Amino acid sequence: MKKPWGGRFQQSTDSLMERFSASISFDRILYAYDIEGSIAHCKMLAKCKIIKPAEAKKIVGGLQRIAREFDEGRFEIREELEDIHMNIESRLAELIGPVAGKLHTARSRNDQICLDIRMYLRDEVGEILKEILRLGKTLLGLAKKNIDHIIPGYTHLQRAQPVLLSHHLLAHLEMFLRDRERLQDCLKRINIMPLGAAALAGTNFPIDRNYTAKLLKFPEVSHNSMDSVSDRDFLIEFCSAASIIMMHLSRFCEEVVLWSSSEFDMIELSDAFSTGSSIMPQKKNPDPAELIRGKTGRVYGSLVALLTLMKSLPLAYNRDLQEDKEPLFDTVNTVKICLAVFNGMIQSAKFKKASPEKLQSEGFLTATDIADYLVLKGLPFREAHEITGKTVAYCLQSKKNLAQVSLAEFKKLSPKFKEDVLDHISIESSIQRKASYGGTARKNVVEQIERLQKKLKKA
Ligand code: ARG
């Protein structure tokens, strides 16, 4: 098969080399962008009188036909044609004859591939933003629905203080909203039109790059032809934002895994989002959460692969850059499906409430409230801490929880304790008192729900 670049070659390509060099197995997914970009380029060439209107018409018609062939699964991919660009160009020549050869005027595959991945990625980032928004709305809905559900809050994975489940869910929502902002910011640098840089130096033809940008809905053109063909910062930024999304999902998944164990007993996943064991009939496993946690590794891996790919590349285009696509596509696909699966899993899960007695009886969740109580009675916090520590030690010795300590016993620990201490140690009052901005008091959380609801509505 004659290569579009074959002019100066006497021998044909080794078949091993051909296979090694081909990217069509993965870059074929770019076909719609490649064709849309070519149509815009062709229209620009005609507008700038670089090709004739009749030629442009023929080329555009051929490209549209090729797009239909792809859409309907009729396009015949040829590996020996290396990549998506040459597969399309060679089919165009079959369809419309030698005039097809005019399409590549003032263009190179180097700027063409940059255009394709920018168009692809801006669409995909749009999809990911929608997925995050969907998940955000789910979390907000769950926070509303479970507003009276109290859980133990943890630090060091040790029971710390009671919090509202809603507060916990909204903490995760905050993370996902930052993820959205990061992607939106990254989108600004994805959405830049590189075509016209040609191989690296720009072109001799009087092209109108702004016109191409307008046709393809890019708000800006790139400003340096060498940077245009070699810049992959936007991919790295995207993969870094994607890694942070996965890290957030993975942390949440870790909690889902822990919470669904009988040791925590705080969540039950729906049958639709769990799997069984092929040997142990009693098992219901949180596999979606584990898979998402596991897939986080490959997304980090892609980020590192891209950073490493770029670190020693001299300007401008180098063929190494072909290796950017598989990590990119894998990251896009992984993040999208993980967000969707997580959404389905969490939406259909049942949060299991522990009784107030159970919350009260384990882990001294309100010990800090006792210390705060003593501060209210005039003790410095450090002293209050010490007395409360002794109270806990007393409880451990006498096998009691804080609610079982009588007023007389409290008074023995410190004369500062008065009747109203008993009030302070209830789980509900502990929550209610956390009214500092950003705290877990019910009224604060309700306010946050309202704020976030407005924010999500605007998004
Ligand atoms: N398949 C190539 C890539 O992904 C397209 C650009 C090829 N350019 C070249 N000079 N061989 O980067």
Task: Write the class of the CATH domain 357-442.
Answer: mainly alpha
pLDDT band at 92 (very low <50, low <70, confident <90, very high): very high
Query: What's the confidence (pLDDT) of residue 277?
Result: 78
* Cβ of residue 109 lying under 6 Å from some atom of ligand 1: yes
Query: What's the confidence (pLDDT) of residue 379?
Result: 96
Q: What is the Å distance from ligand 1's center to 34 Cα?
A: 13
Q: Which CATH architecture has domain 110-204+220-353?
A: Up-down Bundle (1.20)
In the residue annotation, 104 being an active-site residue is answered as no
pLDDT band at 8 (very low <50, low <70, confident <90, very high): confident
Q: What is the Å distance from ligand 1's center to 222 Cα?
A: 19
Quick: pLDDT tens for 392-443. Answer: 999 999 999 999 999 999 999 999 999 999 888 899 999 999 999 999 999 9
In this structure, the residue with its CA closest to atom 11 of ligand 1 is 319
| Active-site pick, 12, 25, 261, 277 | 277
pLDDT at 275 over 90: no
Query: What's the confidence (pLDDT) of residue 445?
Result: 98
* Cβ of residue 295 lying under 6 Å from some atom of ligand 1: no
In the residue annotation, 277 being an active-site residue is answered as yes
User: How far is the CA of 426 from the CAs of 67, 241, 378, 402, in angstroms?
Assistant: 67, 42, 21, 9
Residue extent(s) of CATH 1.10.40.30 domains in the chain: 357-442
What is the distance between the alpha carbons of residues 79 and 84, in angstroms, rounded to a whole number? 9
Query: What's the confidence (pLDDT) of residue 356?
Result: 80
* Cβ of residue 237 lying under 6 Å from some atom of ligand 1: no
**Domain 14-105: CATH superfamily, name plus number:** Fumarase/aspartase (N-terminal domain) (1.10.275.10)
In this structure, the residue with its CA closest to atom 12 of ligand 1 is 322
pLDDT at 10 over 90: no
- Pocket probe for ligand 1: among 109, 116, 313, the residue whose CB has the most ligand atoms within 8 Å is 109
Decide: 46 and 215 in contact? Cβ < 8 Å.
no
* Cβ of residue 110 lying under 6 Å from some atom of ligand 1: yes
Q: Which residues have CB under 8 Å from 445's CB, separation 6+?
A: 143, 147, 164, 166, 167, 170
Mean pLDDT of 286-309: 98
Mean pLDDT of the chain: 96
Atom of ligand 1 nearest to the CA of 82: 1
Mean pLDDT of 64-71: 98
The DSSP line for 418-436 is -TTHHHHTSHHHHHHT--S
Quick: pLDDT tens for 157-203. Answer: 999 999 999 999 999 999 999 999 999 999 999 999 999 999 999 99
Query: What's the confidence (pLDDT) of residue 357?
Result: 83
* Cβ of residue 44 lying under 6 Å from some atom of ligand 1: no
Residue extent(s) of CATH 1.20.200.10 domains in the chain: 110-204+220-353
In this structure, the residue with its CA closest to atom 3 of ligand 1 is 322
Quick: pLDDT tens for 131-147. Answer: 999 999 999 999 999 99
Q: 285 pairs with which residues across the strands?
A: 275
Q: What is the Å distance from ligand 1's center to 149 Cα?
A: 56
Residue extent(s) of CATH 1.10.275.10 domains in the chain: 14-105
What is the distance between the alpha carbons of residues 220 and 422, in angstroms, rounded to a whole number? 66
* Cβ of residue 83 lying under 6 Å from some atom of ligand 1: yes
To the nearest whole percent, how much of the chain has pLDDT over 70?
100
Q: Which residue has the tokens 């006497």?
A: 10
* Cβ of residue 113 lying under 6 Å from some atom of ligand 1: yes
